[in-house]
Structure 1
Amino acid sequence: MGEFFQHILEQFLAITWIEWFGVVTGALCVYLAAKENMLNWPIAILSVITYIYIFYNAKLYGDTILQFYFLGTSVYGWYYWTYGKATDLKSERPIGILKPKDWGIITLILIVFSVLVGYLLKKYTDTDVPYIDAFCTVTSFIAQYLLTRKKLENWLIWIFVDIIYIPLYIHKNLLATSVLYFVFLFIALKGYLDWKKNYLKAHGLKPKVESI
């Protein structure tokens, strides 16, 4: 047991400043997203650029590609939260929820692309976790898209994938990042509860259902 804690301590001492920067900006942007604060998007851009470097060096190629996606969706989300489908350009995008058929589409996309991306990572890269990397990447793609569209259920998907990411990053010796995703887990839970409260307040007991 003593050797285990010694190993954990050594990992913490070996954490680079760039990983700490990614951790701090990453935690801040998710916290602000949960609060529906527009500043989450520019801060997310800083975190994403940092993690492109970190994940590439950790041979998490699926996550590296995911960061480029996050970069694009951060710009898109910043615009969409401000102006998307608003009758008044000064009005922010309201929270929406998914239809039952949307979950079927999401499940199909998750299965097909996880297998496809996992196969490509196994065949063309030197990663030792191709299918787990692929599954988490595709799940995060979906969750991030739903976040940009301000769908309540994005937080449920983030909770699910954060639980998987924590041991994955420990396996890759990204201890600070695994701690970050542990924090993400609780922020996502709080985000879901807060968004649900705001949604019900805006729509009453019979919330309007929107498609993706």
Structure 2
Amino acid sequence: MELFLQHIIDQIRAITWIEWFGTVTGALCVYLAAKENVLNWPIAILSVTTYIYIFYNAKLYGDTILQFYFLATSIYGWYYWTYGQAANLKSERPIGILKPKDWMIIALILIGFSLLIGFLLKKYTDTDVPYIDAFCTVTSFIAQYLLTRKKLENWLIWVFVDIIYIPLYIHKNLLATSVLYFIFLFIALKGYIDWKKSYSKAEGLKQKAKII
């Protein structure tokens, strides 16, 4: 037990200022996304730029590539959420839901690309977690795209992948980042609950409008 506690203490002491910066901005951008606040996107840009450096040095190459994708989708999401917006910070884009055929496409993409990227990482890099890295990367790709399109289920996918990321980052001695993803887990749950309420309210208003 003492050895375990000492290991945790050593990990905390080893946390760099750049990981703290990525952690704080990462938590803030996800919280703002859950609140449908468009400012989540510029803050996300700061966070993912930081994590490009962090993950590359941790030899999490799939996650490194993922950050470049996050960077591009953050710019896109910022535009998409802002387009047609009123003079406030809450996105005017409506929340949507996935159809059964969308889940089938997601499953095929997840399985196919996880195997492909995992094989490439195992063959051409020195990572010790090629397939887990690949699976989490592809899952995050999907969740991030659904977030930019304001699909309700993006939060469920984030919950799923965050649960996997927590032990992965502990394994990679990225304690602050593992704590961040623990926080992400609860923010994603709250985001799903809040977005579901907003979606149900909007659908209710549509039904009333049809009756009138």
Q: TM-score range by the shorter chain?
A: over 0.9
Q: How far apart, in 2, do the equivalents of 1:89 and 1:151 lie? A: 18
**1:158 equivalent in structure 2:** 158
**1:187 equivalent in structure 2:** 187
Kindly indicate whether residue 42 of structure 2 is the aligned counterpart of residue 42 of structure 1: yes
Counterparts of residues 61-100 of structure 1 (less than 5 Å): 61-83=61-83, 88=84, 90=86, 92-100=92-100
Runs of 4+ residues over 6 Å off in structure 1? none
Deviation at 1:204, TM superposition (A): 1.9
Q: How far apart, in 2, do the equivalents of 1:165 and 1:89 lie? A: 34
Helix, strand or coil for the counterpart of 1:63? helix
Helix, strand or coil for the counterpart of 1:38? coil
Counterparts of residues 121-200 of structure 1 (less than 5 Å): 121-200=121-200
Matched letter for residue 168 of structure 2: L
Matched letter for residue 131 of structure 2: Y
Q: How far apart, in 2, do the equivalents of 1:127 and 1:43 lie? A: 29
Q: How far apart, in 1, do the equivalents of 2:98 and 2:47 lie? A: 28
Deviation at 1:89, TM superposition (A): 5.5
Matched letter for residue 158 of structure 2: W
Matched letter for residue 135 of structure 1: F
Query: 5+ residue gaps in structure 1?
Result: 208-212
Kindly indicate whether residue 34 of structure 2 is the aligned counterpart of residue 28 of structure 1: no
Matched letter for residue 77 of structure 1: G
> TM-score normalized by structure 1?
0.93
> TM-score normalized by structure 2?
0.93
Q: How far apart, in 1, do the equivalents of 2:117 and 2:188 lie? A: 26
Q: How far apart, in 1, do the equivalents of 2:85 and 2:165 lie? A: 38
Which digits, 9 at most, give the CA deviation of each residue in 1:49-94, with x for residues without a partner?
Answer: 00000000000000000000000000000011122xxxx5647211
CA RMSD of aligned residues (A): 1.4
Q: How far apart, in 2, do the equivalents of 1:76 and 1:93 lie? A: 14
**1:15 equivalent in structure 2:** 15
Shift in alpha-carbon separation, 1:171–1:205, aligned structure 2, 3 A = farther
Aligned length: 203
Query: 5+ residue gaps in structure 2?
Result: 208-212
**1:111 equivalent in structure 2:** 111
Q: How far apart, in 1, do the equivalents of 2:192 and 2:81 lie? A: 17
